[in-house]
Amino acid sequence: MKGHIRERSPGHWAIVLDVGEIDPKTGKKKRKWHSFTGTKRQAQSECARLIAEIKSGGYVEPTKQTVSEFLTEWLTFIKPTVTPKTHERYAEICEKNLGPLIGDVTLAKLKTDKIDAAFAKALTEGHRRGGGLSPRTVHHMRRVLIKALNQAVTWDRLVKNPAAATTPPKIERTKMLAYDPDQTAILLEAFRPTRMFIPMMLAVMCGLRRGEILALRWRHVDLSANRRMLSIRESAEQTKEGVRYKEPKAGKSRTVALSSMMLAELKAHRARQAEEQLKIGIRPDDDSFVVAQIDGRPLKPVSLTHEWTRLLAKTSLPRIRFHDLRHTHASQMLAAGVHPKVASERLGHSTIGITLDLYSHVMPGMQADAAEQVDAALQAAISANQKSK
């Protein structure tokens, strides 16, 4: 294997590699040509590097495909293997965030330093309306780019993934927002006259996610006194093409026990809903949605969020997301001494570690109680031992 350099113009070089094969059409040796900008010594070093790659089998044929062109190809490739919502998010990041920053760069020339510089720029001036993107958004950009360029390596478009060595932005954990019992009582009273009462109750009393609430059907709810539970089997997901129903998060169904209060509220709600729908000629059945419009049609996730925001603004309570009602349920469970394993199963976390990590802020009190219990048991044992002597 041989190679040499030729100067085309000051600072611009052609690297010519003899691959050792004879072209049957011309009878001449096959050659690979690379353009390089830099000093003569740098061009010689690049020539040596390319020769070493060819000998080791790590050489990748250079192409003129840009990063944007590759990302478009990759998005088409992965579409059948991810959910519509995930594909929408990937496409948004590729087209609105990555494209303007590094889209014009030739894929073969994409280096780690260029990507790091692009991420730094995104943090300071990446927002289309001015200012920078949040570290969390840039973190998502990095994850998507790594995933895409891993495919480029698999397809032999790149020797290695230059995004894998980039420095991730530092993300500060968002403070967990939740209502205390007094605030929750005020919330229940304020929302009772509204159609948001039952979805709010399912979130704050059962820890259900928004999509789980909107996919819940009456056949999933057992209102008998000896069982009183509901099953989470589906979740509603809103995409640009409409609402789809999929498996719950973590890919597994779960059952959630109902408290006496929740049982009573659901029984009353089912009676009201049946009366309401019968008035307009609809006969509800077990396939009907628990949370629905007046005519029985399911609610869209975005509609529920908008209604929550609108109604909450009429109260004096702190402004929190609808999802934070789930955090409220989790925090109040753990603060009341419920075992984290039970809380994890009720919330539908894939592991107990997720529960402990998310709600560690309510653990100090639990740890203090545990320490006192151990202390009391030990003191009793010491006292009993002294009496026996």
pLDDT digits (tens, 9 = 90+) for 253-303: 999 999 999 999 999 999 999 999 999 998 889 999 999 999 999 999 999
- Regarding whether 226 and 127 lie in a shared domain, the answer is no
| 196 plus 268 within the same structural domain | yes
In DSSP notation, 133-201 reads PPHHHHHHHHHHHHHHHHHHHHTTS-SS-TTTTSPPPP-PPPPP----HHHHHHHHHHHTTSTTHHHHH
Please indicate, yes or no, if residue 175 is contained in any of the structural domains: no
Is 45 part of any domain?
yes
- pLDDT at position 130: 76
Judged by phi (left if over 0) then psi (alpha if -120 to 50, else beta), residue 315 lies in beta
Instruction: Sheet containing 29-37: give its strands across.
Output: 2-9, 12-22, 29-37
State the CB neighbour count (10 A cutoff) for residue 147: 14
Interval 178-215: pLDDT, tens: 899 999 999 999 999 999 999 999 999 999 999 999 99
Question: Residues 145, 211: one domain?
Answer: no
Among 195, 93, 100, 194, which Cα is nearest to 145's?
93
Structure tokens at 290: 């628990």
- The pair phi, psi for residue 235, each rounded to 5°, is -140, 135
Residue 262 in domain: yes
Residue 67 main-chain phi, psi, to 5 deg: -60, -40
Residues 233 and 301 in one domain: yes
237 - beta bridge partners? 244
Are residues 214 and 202 in contact, defined by beta-carbon separation less than 8 angstroms? Answer: no
Is 35 within a domain? yes
**Which 3 state secondary structure label does DSSP give 256?**
strand
The number of domains in the chain is 3
Write down the pLDDT at residue 381: 80
- In whole angstroms, what is the distance from residue 92 CA to residue 105 CA? 19
Domain boundary among 319, 348, 366: 319
Instruction: Please tell me whether residues 89 and 46 are part of one structural domain.
Output: no
- Note the pLDDT of residue 49: 83
Mark whether 45 and 128 lie in a shared domain.
Answer: no
| Structural domain ending residue among the three candidates 135, 154, 173 | 154
pLDDT value of residue 350:
82
CATH number at residue 252: 1.10.443.10
Per-residue pLDDT, 2: 80
Domain membership of residue 335 (yes or no) is no
Does residue 371 belong to any structural domain of this protein? no
Residues 97 and 51 in one domain: no
* Residue spans of the chain under pLDDT 70: 1, 20-21, 23-24, 57-62, 360-373, 389
Q: Are residues 46 and 78 in the same domain?
A: no
Buried/exposed 242-254: b ≥16 CB within 10 Å, e otherwise:
ebeeeebeeeeeb
Same domain, 110 and 240: no
In this predicted structure, what is the pLDDT of residue 210?
96
**The predicted structure's pLDDT at residue 367:** 58
105, 137, 154 - which closes a domain: 154
C-alpha 251/C-alpha 126 separation (Å) is 35
> Is there a single domain that holds both residue 298 and residue 198?
yes
Q: Quick check: is 159 in a domain?
A: no
Q: Which residue has the tokens 């309510």?
A: 362
Domain extent, residue 14, equals 2-56
- Position 62 in a domain: no
185 shares its domain with 251: yes
As a whole number of angstroms, the distance between CA 344 and CA 104 comes to: 46
Task: Tell me: do 15 and 138 sit in the same domain.
Answer: no
In this structure, are residues 53 and 43 in contact, taking their beta carbons and an 8 Å threshold?
no
Q: Can you give the pLDDT at residue 59?
A: 64
Give CA separation, 203 vs 23, 100, 186, in Å: 70, 40, 15
Distance CA 358, CA 348 (A): 13
